[in-house]
Amino acid sequence: MAQTPEDRWTDSSSKILTSYVFREGSLEGELETIKPTGFVEDETGAVRGMRFLWPLKAESLVAYLNEAYSETITLRRKRDYAWIMTRDPQITDERYAALVARLAAMGCDAAEVRRVPQDWPDAGHPVSKAEGDMAHWTRAND
């Protein structure tokens, strides 16, 4: 049986091994890594919990995922937190606007969306180990 993109990020217990790698405060800030564990909460795989600190688990709903697995929108049912994520560090203004419009159509306040500057991968970033291919870098590469 062929491995799906989801299989690369899960272990045998349906936990989703997740890493958030960022620079604290600015693009020149210290490199930080947070490794929460995600949990598939329903049979569709779209309802998830993310545990950053035991025993607390944050809700994370996969509200949109394109066919290429290259962009996604996740949010909470309350629509108070949402994330637009892509595999590409830079996207066009037009593509970003389309994703924000999709988010707004889901009931989120588009005026509250903040576009975070991106400058990666750099030499200190773990994705550099995968030669810039974030789709093939997983927590197992740490």
- Arithmetic mean of pLDDT, 21-43: 81
| Mean of all residue pLDDT scores within the chain | 77
Is the preceding omega at residue 117 within 30 degrees of 0, hence cis? no
**Per-residue pLDDT tens for 50-85?**
887 777 778 888 899 999 988 999 998 889 989 998
**Would you tell me which CATH number, out of the four given (3.40.1110.10, 3.50.50.60, 1.10.3720.10, 2.40.128.20), belongs to the domain 5-136?**
2.40.128.20
Q: Which long-range contacts (CB under 8 A, 24 or more apart) does 87-91 make?
A: 87/134, 87/135, 89/118, 89/119, 89/120, 89/121, 90/118
Q: Where are the domains of the chain?
A: 5-136
What does the DSSP 8-state code read for residue 90? -
Where does the pLDDT of residue 92 fall: very low under 50, low under 70, confident under 90, or very high at 90 and above? very high
Per-residue pLDDT at 112 exceeds 90: yes
Per-residue pLDDT at 100 exceeds 50: yes
Ramachandran sector of residue 38 (left: φ over 0; alpha: ψ -120 to 50; beta: rest): beta
Place of tokens 């870098």: 137
Decide: pTM greater than 0.75. Answer: no
